[in-house]
Amino acid sequence: MWYVRGMDERISKDAELAGLLAAALDGTLGEPQARQLAAIEPKLLTLAWLAAAQRIAEQNARIAQLEGRVAVAAAGDPATPSGQRPVYAKPPSPVAAAKRRAKKLGAKIGHAPTRRPRPQQIDRREEHRLQCCPGCGGPLQRCNRTRTRTVEDLLEDLRARATEHTIHRDYCPACGKHVEPVVPDAMPHAAIGHRAIALSSWLHYGLGLSIQQVRDLTLCRFQTHLSAGGLVGAWRRLAEVLEPWYAQIGREARASAVLHADETGWRMNGRTWWLWCFANPRVCYYLLDPSRGSPALEKFFAEAFDGVLVTDFWAAYRAFCQERQCCLAHLLRELEKVDLSNGSTAWQAFAKQLRRLVRDGLRLRKRADFTPQRYASRIGRIHRRLVALAEGTYPDADATRLAKRLDKHVNELFTFLDYPAVPPDNNLAERMIRPAVILRKNCQSNRSERGAAAQAVLMSVYRTLKLRDHDPLATIDSALRTYLTTGQLPPMPPLPVQSVADG
């Protein structure tokens, strides 16, 4: 293949990983699968194993509680009227449980606020004090004001660690205010650090695990309790910070010489939306939009695309590119589909000719021994055969329909012969869209436009990092630290040099 080496493998491993992690949480992970998981990502095996152990402990506790309840109930005489039985011996009432849930969350107005309890066990302590004022650079008057903040995060080997940060506030006489240093380990007000946020959002948006699966896997050993809503909130803040990377991926996609595009249905709070994917071996940009036509494409391209666009036969793409390669795999699949229902000799003769033409085109591409002149004359011959096939008249309806399509796309079927970097099929885009389809099944798409925006950003960032062979955790951790200390997100890391040479 003419793609970046190893890309296929990396993408198929992602889909495999999602399945293996789900099996680990279900308790259905067999030994061969465990070995597979260890081979792909040994750290994740540890994580899955710990999550499973936690689950077993919780279930055992529940079973013990139930057994205790049964024993108490059995001790009482079954003839005893319900009103005389102790409350603890009765099963919980579903009505009362529903009432408890209906109660509004949070303290009553005027009552003291309750905070999330701080982790009891602190593994590490760190002090933060400014040397000079961050605003004016002038000297500071030392004050005795401090506050503490606890952040839990995952280490390199995915063990959890709680750090207590002591933050000193000092006074700047020039600015006339108190100033304090930034803690680069976590986003403002966040109780969990960058690596935990990166790992959890990668498992969800990158691999397609459900939110509950992600919580089971990543948060089970944290002392900090983080609700599903809290986790989603943290992901959205991450997406907001990574927005410049999303924009950068879009710019790089639009500036590339070859770009694949594909779209698939999406659900958005009950309505039908579309997930668009624009990708090549270096970038992958997802767009969630209510439109399946020009409005969405206009949003992405803004103006006509300069390179070769590889797509299926969907008409909306035509207005946005000068050169296009329509997917030959789609065309061949269509022939197979008609074969099933149409056995007429007229159809078979047409299909045979078209198949032979496609095959000859694909073969010509591989002829590295041809001189440029000979290659060009063969391309001319292929083109003349295509025109003849497209302009012919056929007694068969399917043949007529297909010939019409050939005529419409007469300049868009063998573009790949003119450009070595253009593949004859759109398999790449279809592969890129598949992980998103897994996610759609697991998570019922999006409930809000804000959620959809975060989804598009994080899916694009994780897929592109994967294509570029960067570790998502380390990359995001370091980018967020830079962002917090300098106020600027560094540019998205490029493709490693050796991979460029492979392509």
CB atoms within 10 A of CB 431: 19
From 54, 384, 446, select the one nearest 211 (Cα to Cα): 446
- The CA distance from 348 to 351, in Å, is 5
- The CA distance from 250 to 269, in Å, is 26
Give whichever of 175 and 379 is closer to Zn ion, judged by the CB atom.
Answer: 175
Helix (H, G, I), strand (E, B) or coil at 148: strand
Give whichever of 135 and 380 is closer to Zn ion, judged by the CB atom.
Answer: 135
Give whichever of 175 and 332 is closer to Zn ion, judged by the CB atom.
Answer: 175
Residue 144: CB minimum distance to Zn ion, A? 19
DSSP one-letter code for 491: P
- Contact between 55 and 78 under an 8 Å Cβ cutoff? The reply is no
Distances from the Cα of 276 to the Cα of 20, 144, 292, 498, angstroms: 27, 55, 8, 30
Dihedral (Cα; 198, 201, 206, 208), 10-degree rounding: 150
- Structure tokens given for 173: 């006489």
- Structure tokens given for 174: 């020039």
Helix (H, G, I), strand (E, B) or coil at 147: strand
Residue 176: CB minimum distance to Zn ion, A? 8
Amino acid at site 134: P
- Contact between 48 and 40 under an 8 Å Cβ cutoff? The reply is no
From 128, 3, 16, select the one nearest 435 (Cα to Cα): 16
Residue 135: CB minimum distance to Zn ion, A? 4
Give whichever of 177 and 299 is closer to Zn ion, judged by the CB atom.
Answer: 177
Give whichever of 171 and 300 is closer to Zn ion, judged by the CB atom.
Answer: 171
Cβ-Cβ contacts under 8 Å for 478 (sequence gap 6 or more): 490
Residue 185: CB minimum distance to Zn ion, A? 24
Q: Which residues bind Zn ion (CB under 5 A)?
A: 133, 135-136, 172, 174-175
In the bound state, the residue with its beta carbon closest to Zn ion is 133
Longest Cα–Cα distance of the chain, Å, equals: 101
Give whichever of 167 and 399 is closer to Zn ion, judged by the CB atom.
Answer: 167
Residue 100: CB minimum distance to Zn ion, A? 51
- Contact between 221 and 160 under an 8 Å Cβ cutoff? The reply is yes
Give whichever of 172 and 268 is closer to Zn ion, judged by the CB atom.
Answer: 172
Strand partners, 259: 309
- Contact between 109 and 125 under an 8 Å Cβ cutoff? The reply is no
Give whichever of 170 and 396 is closer to Zn ion, judged by the CB atom.
Answer: 170
Give whichever of 137 and 295 is closer to Zn ion, judged by the CB atom.
Answer: 137
Residue 180: CB minimum distance to Zn ion, A? 12
Residue with tokens 């943290």: 234
Give whichever of 68 and 135 is closer to Zn ion, judged by the CB atom.
Answer: 135
DSSP one-letter code for 81: -
Residue 178: CB minimum distance to Zn ion, A? 10
- The CA distance from 490 to 399, in Å, is 55
Residue 126: CB minimum distance to Zn ion, A? 24
Give whichever of 171 and 274 is closer to Zn ion, judged by the CB atom.
Answer: 171
Give whichever of 94 and 176 is closer to Zn ion, judged by the CB atom.
Answer: 176
Residue 127: CB minimum distance to Zn ion, A? 21
Residue 145: CB minimum distance to Zn ion, A? 16
Residue 189: CB minimum distance to Zn ion, A? 24
Residue 174: CB minimum distance to Zn ion, A? 5
From 266, 291, 286, select the one nearest 276 (Cα to Cα): 286
Concatenated DSSP letters of 344-411: -HHHHHHHHHHHHHHHHHHHHHT-TTS-HHHHHHHHHHHHHHHHHHHH---SSHHHHHHHHHHHHTTT
